[in-house]
């Protein structure tokens, strides 16, 4: 089989004709020493440093965890029970000093899975012997929408430690900031895991117009105070007096005018970590008699497996070199309370479903501080997508969508702080806009979105009240949105800028070229 990912990445790196030597953004550009310079707006907001996205906070190689158990394919019969038994065996073993219990190796061949495989313990890795047709192939058999492989911890959210909450005293903490002040920092120390809480007040919702969404159908719901709070998951790195420094930038401004913010320490013992899936292929069976008679080579059966892999309530997790075929929803879902995840060198091919809402979201993100890089999709809808109230930052880097049936971008309800870096959408759009009454009231889909050197058939980029969105070095037709709104920040439309990749250059600035080598990207930043 042709190496699709290798081919598209060569295209990404070699497509330099749209660059002009020395064509830099005015907002972030290389200074005299080669490091990026960030230019703030009148309130101090800057384009954030996205390099903290990814496994272990970015720039760390995915681990090669030793094989502890090996399973071979069998000639016939369902493999669900014996694969789950092997996972449970591995999960019961003691972790090593690095938190790994070991790798379960699935030898080359076909495995038939009529149910779902569950990984609910830290330190467990699933590995195959290739994502191609002749590698390790997991076949989702039978009927019923389901997830084939689920990595899932316990506990819907971190638990606030009592008597640790402190108010942020700054009038305005800008986007991209890592430093702010609180009332009393005496109970905090470097290394503390904290939540930075930004409330959603009635005044803020009214200012952005989301209490007045057009009632185009009876399912529309106006946004309610308290339902759009943000919880940024951070670690304290330094304290000076009552001034706190955190490990990763703020993805949305914190404004006293709109309720200010606070921090608190948390516990989350149920969240699992150091889990991953590698080098295998998932295929969903489906009824090929149910054809889409309006579109060639499309099938609309929906009574079959829906997700290949879902990660929820996890941190420091990964998926690399996997391929999904015919699943109705996604290849890899970075789910609720997922943090510091990397998905790379993976493909979501030829999903089978109706081409309508809630289907074909190839690589969706619900969590924060996660990286999707060098991925490829074919015949998806919302291929590189954010869901509601996603706190960010997150990054999609060097990704391609072919035969896209809908747009890439934030989908609904104020997801914040995402980088789309060299994302190519063939046959469709990249959009960041007010979606108003779509769904049950999608409204403003996203804020603090950065489109950097992207290509698409068209772009919509709008500026939400109190925030901004950016399109820098993007190639494709600029269009108005569904509803007339102020334009976002456009720069160098039709001509790409230097550096080629914002994420990779930010990573190099922060951690050096060794970090680029660690994630397989050395030499690809410029």
Domains and their CATH numbers in the chain? 50-155+270-518 (2.160.20), 159-267 (2.40.30)
Q: What is the reported pLDDT for 525?
A: 64
- State the pLDDT confidence band at 436, using cuts at 50, 70 and 90: confident
Residue 297, C-beta contacts closer than 8 angstroms, at least 6 positions apart: 350, 379
Residue 12's pLDDT band, with cuts at 50, 70 and 90, is low
What average pLDDT does this structure show over 484-500?
97
Where is 11: in which H helix or E strand? helix 4-14
The whole-model pTM stands at 0.96
- What values do phi and psi take at 319, rounded to 5? -140, 125
* 13 pLDDT tier (thresholds 50, 70, 90): low
Say if residue 1's pLDDT is above 80: no
Q: Which of 396, 51, 416 is nearest to 232 (CA)?
A: 416
Question: Cα–chain-centroid distance for residue 488?
Answer: 22
CB atoms within 10 A of CB 42: 5
What's the whole-number mean pLDDT along residues 262-273? 98
Alpha helices for 446-493 (secondary structure H): none
> Residue range 471-481: average pLDDT?
97
- pLDDT value for 523: 75
pLDDT greater than 90 at residue 438 = no
482 falls in which pLDDT band (50, 70, 90)?
confident
Q: Which of these, 430, 473, 468, 478, lies nearest to 446 by C-alpha position?
A: 468
Average pLDDT over residues 435-445: 86
State pLDDT tens for residues 412-422.
889 999 999 99
Distances (CA, A) of 203 to 14, 141, 209, 224, 436: 48, 51, 10, 11, 18
DSSP letter at 6 equals H
Is residue 353 scored above 90 in pLDDT?
yes
């Amino acid at each position: 089989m042709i190496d699709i990912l290798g081919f598209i990445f060569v295209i990404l790196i070699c497509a330099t004709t749209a660059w002009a030597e020395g064509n830099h953004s005015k907002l972030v550009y290389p200074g005299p020493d080669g490091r990026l310079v960030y230019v703030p707006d009148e309130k101090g907001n800057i384009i954030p440093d996205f390099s903290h996205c990814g496994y272990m906070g970015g720039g760390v190689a995915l681990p090669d965890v030793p094989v502890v158990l090996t399973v071979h394919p069998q000639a016939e019969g369902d493999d669900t029970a014996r694969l789950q038994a092997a996972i449970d065996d591995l999960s019961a073993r003691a972790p090593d000093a690095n938190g790994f219990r070991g790798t379960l190796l699935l030898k080359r061949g076909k495995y038939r899975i009529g149910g779902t495989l569950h990984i609910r313990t830290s330190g467990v890795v699933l590995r195959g012997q290739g994502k191609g047709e002749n590698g390790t192939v997991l076949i989702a058999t039978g009927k019923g929408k389901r997830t084939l492989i689920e990595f899932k911890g316990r506990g819907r959210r971190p638990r606030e430690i009592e008597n640790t909450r402190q108010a942020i005293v700054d009038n305005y903490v800008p986007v991209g900031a890592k430093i702010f002040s609180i009332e009393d920092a005496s109970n905090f120390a470097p290394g503390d895991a904290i939540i930075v809480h930004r409330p959603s007040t009635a005044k803020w919702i009214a200012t952005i117009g989301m209490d007045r969404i057009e009632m185009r159908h009876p399912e529309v719901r106006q946004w309610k105070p308290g339902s759009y709070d943000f919880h940024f998951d951070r670690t304290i790195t330094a304290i000076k007096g009552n001034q706190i420094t955190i490990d990763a930038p703020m993805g949305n401004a914190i404004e006293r005018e709109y309720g200010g913010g606070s921090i608190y320490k948390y516990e989350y013992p149920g969240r699992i970590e150091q889990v991953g899936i590698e080098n295998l292929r998932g295929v969903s069976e489906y009824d090929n008699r149910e054809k889409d008679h309006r579109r060639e080579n499309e099938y609309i059966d929906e009574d079959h497996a829906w997700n290949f892999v879902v990660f929820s309530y996890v941190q420091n997790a990964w998926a690399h070199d996997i391929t999904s075929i015919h699943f109705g929803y996604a290849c890899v879902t970075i789910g609720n309370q997922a943090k510091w995840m990397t998905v790379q060198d993976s493909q979501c091919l030829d999903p089978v479903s109706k081409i309508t809402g809630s289907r074909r979201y190839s690589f969706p993100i619900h969590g924060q501080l996660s990286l999707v890089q060098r991925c490829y999709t074919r015949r998806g809808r919302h291929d590189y997508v954010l869901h509601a109230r996603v706190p960010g930052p997150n990054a999609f880097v060097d990704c391609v969508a072919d035969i896209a049936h809908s747009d890439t971008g934030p989908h609904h309800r104020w997801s914040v702080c995402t980088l789309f870096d060299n994302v190519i959408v063939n046959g469709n759009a990249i959009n960041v806009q007010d979606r108003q009454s779509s769904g049950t009231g999608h409204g403003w889909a996203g804020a603090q979105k950065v489109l950097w050197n992207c290509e698409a058939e068209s772009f919509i980029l709008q500026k939400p009240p109190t925030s901004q969105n950016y399109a820098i070095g993007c190639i494709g037709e600029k269009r108005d949105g569904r509803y007339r709104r102020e334009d976002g920040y456009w720069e160098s439309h039709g001509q790409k800028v230097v550096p080629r990749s914002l994420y990779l250059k930010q990573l190099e600035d922060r951690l050096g070229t060794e970090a680029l080598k660690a994630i397989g990207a050395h030499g690809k930043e410029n």
